Amino acid sequence: MEMIVTTGNEIQGRPVAQYLGNASGIVVRSASIPQAIAGGLGKFIGGNVETYAKLCAQARQDAFARMVSDASQQKADAILAFRYDATEFSPGVTEVLAYGTAVKLTKVD
């Protein structure tokens, strides 16, 4: 069964049997030299900087996958209250965090 992940605090028809705790995945990324050059040119021209958009999307996907892996290791059935957070803690270096509450759901007959 795939992990159920929702931004909500419940899953309709599946009461929470046990709260297991926080599930999280963190990725720290910086642009490679070619990405930085392409992104810098995009900033100069204006509009959407596709190179950076792709880098950010990949970082979110990787953080999400790490969060799901963390919840799976806890034997969770689902992750509730899923959120992303991002922080630039150094110029050009960004942390992306995916987090939520890992839970066991009641069994369905």
Could you report the per-residue pLDDT of 4-22, keeping only the tens digit for each? 999 999 999 999 999 999 9
Q: Which residues is 22 bridged to in the sheet?
A: 101
The confidence score (pLDDT) of residue 39 equals 47
- Count of domains forming the chain: 1
Could you report the per-residue pLDDT of 13-51, keeping only the tens digit for each? 999 999 999 999 999 876 544 544 544 544 555 555 566
Mean pLDDT value across residues 70-81: 98
The confidence score (pLDDT) of residue 34 equals 53
> Which DSSP string corresponds to the chain?
-PPEE-SSS--TT--EEEEEEEEEEEEEEE--HHHHHHHHHHHHH-S--HHHHHHHHHHHHHHHHHHHHHHHHTT-SEEEEEEEEEEEEETTEEEEEEEEEEEEEPP--
| Dihedral sign, Cα of residue 40, residue 44, residue 50, residue 56 | positive
Containing structural domain, residue 69: 4-105
Q: Which residues is 5 bridged to in the sheet?
A: 79
| Dihedral sign, Cα of residue 8, residue 9, residue 11, residue 13 | negative
CATH number at residue 34: 3.30.110.70
